[in-house]
Structure 1
């Protein structure tokens, strides 16, 4: 079936960095320092991990933001209305510093722009554990933040997270596409899992790619520029 939508993962795919082994340790360190006057760093990080686990196990009845909040705030024992403004200050004033642990892929902008020019519905399908502001900033670091996407996933607008296939089904429902009409582009097994619901997949290998975890086998493999070549050829 004809491809109508391209779902791009962000971290490791459009933005060059390893989220788990490099970025997250610096992110947690920055959070710990920023909130140390309110919450002991170890308790803060443990609360975030518990809240993130609640997102992973979500049944879809609430947004990821609410799933996180229902676990995190009771654990740290501080009112949501007290801490949420502090988090917004963190993302506005501290989070931008973390850009130094990422690197822009010079080809990313051209590849994404080409998808729009070819008429595809384009989605930033980043794992929605972060608020929109953190997603938008990372998109800016990648140089792809100012384009008319059909959907950008964040914890405010999502009810599931990768590798749950329902994460992809929710996106497809929102943009009006069938699984077989979508190409998911990513660098990890959690992206390639979209193949189990009928999506076509394109693996762009990165330092985060763990080959033995890649199941099912991607429809395509190659570079980010290879995505452009593939989709351009399909238009001929």
Structure 2
């Protein structure tokens, strides 16, 4: 299981999100000020992360939470946000720092007999996640699963997020490894019994002494680890 942002696709998350919010804000400024839009989005994200109803997708929860807080013009605002992903999101590619290592890691893992999952926090729509996979040069990789707003019912750092992945791919925790760069969000896989490897190139958070991951290292270290690890 690989995280995407900051792991397979190195980037500064704060800068990337600022680019997303700025692009959306320009499209909806007749209804909402930029700060109002950002506050609405984060409030809806918080509700989505807190959701524990297994029959509601993240997309459904986010939309309901957003629309409940938005005022006049909310239908138009929602339509413009969707259009942003279709028409402008690809222009944010310059905010990422793709590396050839990502493709080499995935192809090496496939050659070693692994199944691969993109376990990115599913708070973005499918369109945006698959676009970022293209930025990383991974659009042709046959991933077993890519988690998105539309196909997921939980978010990181909820343990249910990882349990849902295990159910979907039919694997036990000990058969998997979660490789990510966020101590809290990716480290939460350990609560589901999944060993965790933390990539330090774009590390978010500090590793607590009482909950060390299975290993830490750079993307180069990940490649070497996969090359020499026996399934």
Q: TM-score, normalized by length of structure 1? A: 0.90
Q: Distance in 2 between matches of 1:162 and 1:215?
A: 20
Shift of 1:134: 0.5
Q: Distance in 1 between matches of 2:155 and 2:123?
A: 7
Answer whether contact 2:159 2:189 (CA < 8 A) is retained: yes
Shift of 1:175: 0.3
Alignment partner, residue 132 of structure 2: 138
Alignment partner, residue 3 of structure 1: none
Alignment partner, residue 108 of structure 2: 114
Residue 195 (1) aligns with residue 190 (2): yes
Shift of 1:133: 0.4
Distance 1:82 1:151, change over 3 A: same
Shift of 1:151: 0.5
Distance 1:100 1:202, change over 3 A: same
Q: Distance in 2 between matches of 1:216 and 1:45?
A: 33
Q: Distance in 2 between matches of 1:193 and 1:216?
A: 10
Q: Distance in 2 between matches of 1:78 and 1:171?
A: 38
Q: Distance in 1 between matches of 2:203 and 2:152?
A: 23
Residue 164 (1) aligns with residue 155 (2): no
Alignment partner, residue 67 of structure 2: 73
Distance 1:127 1:214, change over 3 A: farther
Structure 1 gaps, min length 5: 1-6
Compute the RMSD of aligned alpha carbons. 1.9
Shift of 1:28: 1.1
Structure 2 gaps, min length 5: none
Partner residue of 1:186 out of 170, 180, 189: 180
Count of residues paired in the alignment: 229
* 1:26 match: secondary structure: helix
Residue 94 (1) aligns with residue 88 (2): yes
* 1:96 match: secondary structure: helix
Alignment partner, residue 49 of structure 1: 42
Distance 1:224 1:72, change over 3 A: same
Distance 1:155 1:228, change over 3 A: same
Q: Distance in 2 between matches of 1:230 and 1:64?
A: 33
Shift of 1:159: 0.9
* 2:100 match: secondary structure: coil
Shift of 1:213: 5.2
Q: Distance in 2 between matches of 1:215 and 1:136?
A: 36
Shift of 1:230: 1.9
Answer whether contact 1:122 1:151 (CA < 8 A) is retained: yes
Q: Distance in 2 between matches of 1:194 and 1:85?
A: 34
Residue 28 (1) aligns with residue 21 (2): yes
Residue 64 (1) aligns with residue 58 (2): yes
* 1:100 match: secondary structure: helix
Distance 1:215 1:120, change over 3 A: farther
Q: Distance in 1 between matches of 2:198 and 2:35?
A: 36
Alignment partner, residue 228 of structure 2: 233
